[in-house]
């Protein structure tokens, strides 16, 4: 019965689609009435389809836009084909449907038609006229305006990256889809589209009908670039119909996979997730921190392998089954910064005007005192600040990593493209810091210079919690003595180094530092990443042995409550125990 019912439904739906297709060229009111009657006869209404099912319509760039020689667009293979008189009626797409100039009017028509979705393609030749390299500002302006118009009308956007109109300049250079070189160029073009439009576009089709392209353009030669060989095709001056269709399909599949990987790795998951958060909660949330301690994540999860996913390589980490400690920490931080910037742009473009919120990033910080007054220790102290704080904040404020990091890590630290640098620069409305303690820094640049190097070796510094501690090449916060003076120094350093960017103390103002808030860590006892349930920091005690996990306020909770009500104040001097004055006096 189920199969029979399904077949009946499919048949009825097919009839409905046929009616819709047949109705397309109709013009008279009588025809429209007939279509309505026929649809009712099938007992289908919009309400019969799931809410997430969309009804839309589509166009393609060459067929719709026209304006083929305007505003910097370069020819595509279809321009070459039609201008050579290859169409039966000798027509060209020079005018198309005039969409390049009439798209706003058309979008209104879509809205008046109650169209739920619109599928269109982007002209590679209009957006990047040389096939690779500089983006055409006019092309960018057109597609942004089209997309914005659709968003304003509430029409779901479906974009096709390639609809048969390959840039002629690349066809001349390496025969287009016949060459594996197309994979890199197509991926770079897609990267521009994802970067520029991805904050508003959720549905991407990489290419239209690659199976038809392979046959019609490289077997029969009916479509440009008109490649074929006898007896399979006629009027072709080059080609091999026995091989090239398969080569083109092969490269098309590889190009699609490359683009998909790019999108998933660089754009999809985190930005799409953030979009849901902004959309669903942004009417009530005004302060968003994109991620917590990316500097710690990069080291602990991808250098030492202490945090999941526990990636590392000897001799820098142990018990890891995969990873490369010399490279992956830099890659992870790099991708974290780009993901943050992508999310920030999404928020600013799509939500900030109405939600009035702010987007920032959080880092782990500790203040650095030089172990001695030697120039080497003083230089190492600044180097450690650059590696721990500047690693993340320099790109967010200035658009690139600290020079000392680029010098020490060399090719192991990724570079930002010019466009990426522009994207990340100024992408934080505020900075959150998780600050607990201070350390003493000694220079370790006289250590070994051969063999593999990781983040710690590049930093070339040793750490001590107190002067009497044994120095270590890594800062491992097993104990965290309080040092209010160090917190003040860190806030002043952030103020002076990063243009007064607003700061929130998000875990644990002064002298003009632009401190915007303070957040105790933590509100209640939680699972601590370094100590599990055995080192609680909460204001409220949680009984983890009780299945109901009851809460009970600690004395610190009562104190904090009284402080917030203005019943008590803070005396900084009284918060420093005698053994902690060692830090505070530096």
Question: What does the pLDDT average to over 340-358?
Answer: 86
| pLDDT tens digits, one per residue of 238-275 | 999 889 888 988 888 888 888 887 776 666 567 778 88
Give per-residue pLDDT as tens, 267-310.
656 777 888 888 889 888 888 898 888 888 888 888 888 888 88
pLDDT digits 0-9 by tens, 381-405: 999 999 999 999 999 999 999 999 9
Under the banding of pLDDT at 50, 70 and 90, the label for residue 141 is very high
The pLDDT of residue 215: 84
Any idea which residue has 């904040």 for tokens?
A: 393
Q: Which region among 55-64, 144-153, 545-554, 565-574 has the lowest average model confidence (pLDDT)?
A: 565-574
Report pLDDT for 382. Answer: 95
Span 71-99, mean pLDDT? 90
pLDDT in tens, 186-232: 988 998 888 888 878 888 888 888 877 888 888 888 889 999 988 88
Please tell me the predicted confidence (pLDDT) of residue 538: 81
Torsion of CA 23, 26, 30, 33, to 10 degrees: 30
Q: Identify which of 321, 179, 205 has the alpha carbon closest to the alpha carbon of residue 263.
A: 205
Q: What is the pLDDT of residue 411?
A: 92
Cα-Cα-Cα-Cα torsion 93, 96, 98, 101, nearest 10 degrees, comes to -50
**φ, ψ dihedrals at 516, nearest 5°:** -105, -10
Res 477: pLDDT = 62
Residue 294: its pLDDT value, please? Answer: 83
pLDDT (average), residues 311-333:
86
Residue 70 has pLDDT above 70, yes or no: yes
Query: What integer best gives the mean pLDDT of the chain?
Result: 80
Q: Mean pLDDT over residues 325-342, rounded?
A: 88
Write the DSSP string, 82-95: HHTT-STT---SSS
Six-digit token string for 44? 């289908």
Do the Cβ atoms of 511 and 488 come closer than 8 Å?
yes
* pLDDT tens digits, one per residue of 149-174: 999 999 888 898 999 999 999 999 99
Using DSSP, state whether 413 is helix, strand or coil. Answer: coil
Using pLDDT thresholds of 50, 70 and 90, give the confidence band for residue 88: confident
Q: Averaged over 536-558, what is the pLDDT?
A: 85
Helix (H, G, I), strand (E, B) or coil at 471: coil
Residue 520: is its pLDDT beyond 70? no
Task: Grade residue 518 by pLDDT with cuts at 50, 70 and 90.
Answer: low
Q: Which own/partner pairs from 467-470 qualify as long-range (CB within 8 Å, at least 24 positions apart)?
A: 467/371, 467/440, 467/582, 469/440
Catalytic site residues?
209, 507
Please give the domain boundaries of the chain with CATH numbers for all domains: 54-280 (3.20.20.80), 285-516 (3.20.20.80), 520-586 (no CATH)
Residue 449, pLDDT score? 61
493 exposure class (CB count in 10 Å sphere: 0-12, 13-18, 19+): middle
- Residue 157 · residue 200 · CB < 8 Å: yes
For residue 573, pLDDT over 80 is answered with: no
When pLDDT is cut at 50, 70 and 90, the band that residue 117 belongs to is confident
- Res 133 pLDDT > 90: yes
What integer is the mean pLDDT of 434-458?
84
Q: How far apart are the first and last CA of the chain?
A: 83
**Amino acid 255: pLDDT:** 86
Tens of pLDDT, residues 404-440: 999 999 999 999 989 899 989 999 888 888 888 899 9
């Amino acid at each position: 019965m189920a199969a029979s019912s399904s077949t009946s439904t499919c048949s009825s739906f097919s009839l409905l689609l046929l009616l819709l297709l047949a109705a397309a060229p109709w013009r008279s009111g009588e025809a429209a009435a007939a279509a309505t009657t026929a649809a009712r006869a099938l007992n289908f209404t919009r309400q019969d389809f799931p809410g997430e099912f969309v009804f839309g319509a589509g166009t393609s760039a060459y067929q719709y836009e026209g304006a083929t020689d305007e505003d910097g667009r370069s020819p595509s293979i279809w321009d070459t084909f039609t201008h050579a008189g290859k169409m039966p009626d000798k027509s060209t797409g020079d005018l198309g449907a005039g969409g390049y100039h009439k798209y706003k009017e058309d979008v209104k028509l879509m809205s008046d038609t109650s169209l739920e979705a619109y599928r269109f393609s982007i002209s590679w030749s209009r957006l990047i006229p040389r096939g690779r390299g500089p983006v055409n500002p006019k092309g960018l302006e057109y597609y942004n305006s089209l997309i914005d118009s659709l968003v304003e009308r509430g029409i779901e956007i479906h974009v096709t990256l390639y609809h048969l109109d390959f840039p002629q300049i690349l066809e001349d250079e390496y025969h287009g889809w016949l060459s594996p070189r197309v994979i890199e160029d197509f991926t770079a073009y897609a990267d521009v589209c994802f970067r520029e439009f991805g904050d508003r576009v959720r549905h991407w089709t990489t290419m239209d009908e690659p199976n038809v392209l392979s046959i019609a353009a490289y077997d029969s030669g009916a479509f440009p670039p008109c490649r074929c060989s006898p007896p399979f095709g006629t009027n072709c001056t080059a080609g091999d119909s026995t091989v090239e269709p398969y080569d083109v399909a092969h490269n098309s599949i590889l190009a699609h996979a490359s683009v998909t990987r790019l999108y998933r790795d660089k754009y999809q998951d985190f930005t799409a997730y953030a979009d849901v958060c902004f959309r669903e909660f942004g009417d009530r949330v005004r302060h968003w921190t994109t991620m917590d301690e990316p500097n710690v994540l990069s080291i602990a999860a991808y250098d030492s392998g202490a945090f999941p996913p526990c990636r590392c390589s000897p001799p820098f980490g142990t018990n890891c089954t995969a990873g490369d400690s010399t490279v992956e920490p830099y890659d992870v931080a790099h991708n974290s910064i780009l993901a943050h910037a992508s999310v920030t742009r999404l928020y600013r473009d799509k939500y900030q005007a109405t939600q009035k919120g702010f987007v920032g990033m959080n880092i782990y910080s500790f203040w650095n005192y030089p172990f001695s007054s030697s120039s080497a220790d003083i230089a190492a102290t600044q180097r450690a600040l650059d590696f721990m704080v500047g690693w993340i904040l320099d790109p967010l404020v200035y658009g690139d990593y600290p020079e000392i990091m680029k010098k020490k890590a060399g090719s192991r630290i990724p570079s930002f493209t010019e466009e990426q640098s522009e994207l990340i620069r100024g992408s934080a409305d505020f900075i959150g810091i998780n600050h607990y303690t201070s350390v003493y820094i000694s220079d370790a640049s006289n250590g070994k210079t051969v063999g593999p190097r990781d983040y710690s070796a590049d930093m070339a510094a040793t750490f001590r919690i107190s002067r009497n501690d044994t120095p270590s090449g890594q800062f491992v916060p097993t104990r965290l003595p309080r040092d209010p003076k160090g917190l003040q120094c860190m806030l002043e350093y952030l103020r002076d180094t990063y243009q007064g960017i607003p700061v929130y103390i998000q875990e644990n103002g002064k002298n003009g530092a632009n401190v915007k808030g303070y957040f105790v860590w933590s509100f209640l006892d939680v699972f601590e990443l370094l100590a599990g349930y055995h080192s609680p920091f909460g204001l409220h005690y949680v009984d983890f042995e009780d299945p109901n996990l009851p809460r009970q306020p600690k004395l610190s909770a009562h104190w904090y409550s009284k402080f917030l009500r203005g019943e008590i104040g803070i005396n900084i001097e009284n918060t420093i125990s005698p053994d902690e004055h060692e830090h505070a006096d530096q």
